[in-house]
Amino acid sequence: MRVLRFVMAFAVVVAGVVSTVGSGGGDNLSGPTGPVTPPPPIQPPWVDITIANAQDVSATIVQDADQVFDFAAMIGGQIFPSPPTAPNLLSTNSKFELFEKTAATGAPATDTCAVSGAVTVSGAPGNNPVSLSEEDTFDLVFETCDDGDGYSLDGSFSVIVNELAGDPRTDVFRLSYQLPNVIVTVAFDDGTHTMSSASRFSLTWDTVDFPVTVLSLTPNALALSTQADNYVLLSGVHSRTINADISVSTTLAEVGEAQLLSQVSLDGYINYETVVPLQAPNGQAPESGEVLVSNGLANETIRIVIESSTSVRLEIDSDGDGTVNDTQYTTWAALLG
């Protein structure tokens, strides 16, 4: 999986589908740039899995999982220091010092970005933190911030600290935080894309077992879009584990009981779950693992079986009787598009 391979944007918030993730409570949709009004719920049908669309369905799932980690790496790298075990996974730029200044003084802190633009961190109204700790709330405002990572951020979002153990500036820490009220424009060389979400989702960094580093993302109606499709990730826990204490860095990507709404390619809901963790040399195609894709109403399934870095087998049960009706072969590169 390649970091920031896809341009992402938040396009739709599905209201009332899943409950608020993490601590902090409440449903206050007032962000640092004013109230955010979510669009009405979308109720498309479940996707029918057929022999004809099996590769398209599989590609949508693979691309979604790839984008989830791209997004987490982009936002996580912008906010907090990159764990030293994963230099190729995350951005090297961090606004952590701004958080420290705001936490210590309660006053806004502004800094220029590496190439151009600026970012300001402030405590949320009524919070006035005196130290960086659990339940602290911060607002970030990006002014076309370009840190030389191939994209720039313009807009705002909030950060609510759920859990903090250890020091994020060291090798050993655990940090979990929510990201509500996202209203951000992401500009890449190939175009400008908007990210917006009034819902809350959470990111967790865990290096307690250093040199093992775990990045987890728990979505809550998290909407993503590329130039080819729009996705809304409704549930599930996505995690990626990197162990730098071995000769070849290994990545395990796990997705548990996720529900995906694709608005273009599939035009409906689909469930998927990683039943065998994906294992891959860092930055390369996975060499093993299995993902089970299913229709939420029928028993139609696709089992994505990674045989090697150059071969992926699709076992398709198109009538839901538990028997494989067709087997197709493709590659991870082809599914990524």
Considering the domain boundaries, does residue 69 fall inside one?
yes
pLDDT at position 248 is 60
For the chain, 337 residues long, the average pLDDT of each consecutive 10-residue run is 24 23 29 42 78 94 78 69 50 73 83 92 64 80 87 85 82 84 76 68 84 81 68 80 70 78 82 90 85 91 96 96 96 91
Half-sphere exposure of 189 (CA within 13 A, CB side): 5
- In the 8-state DSSP scheme, what is residue 88? T
Asked if the structure places residue 304 within a domain, the reply is yes
Residue 179: per-residue pLDDT: 83
Is residue 238 one of the residues assigned to a domain?
A: yes
Give the rounded distance of the alpha carbon of 225 from its chain centre: 12
Q: Which residues contact 178 (CB under 8 A, 6 or more apart)?
A: 21, 22, 23, 24, 158, 159, 160, 162, 200, 201, 202
Decide if 299 is inside a domain.
yes
Residue 5 within any structural domain of the chain? no
pLDDT of residue 313: 98
On whether residue 20 sits in a domain, the answer given is no
Domain tally, the chain: 1
Q: What is the pLDDT of residue 177?
A: 86
> Is 207 a domain residue?
yes
Is 34 a member of any domain? Answer: no
Per the structure, the complete domain to which residue 74 belongs is given by 44-336
**Tens-digit pLDDT profile for residues 273-303:** 999 988 887 768 899 999 999 998 889 999 9
Give the pLDDT confidence score for residue 128 in this predicted structure. Answer: 52
pLDDT for 55: 95
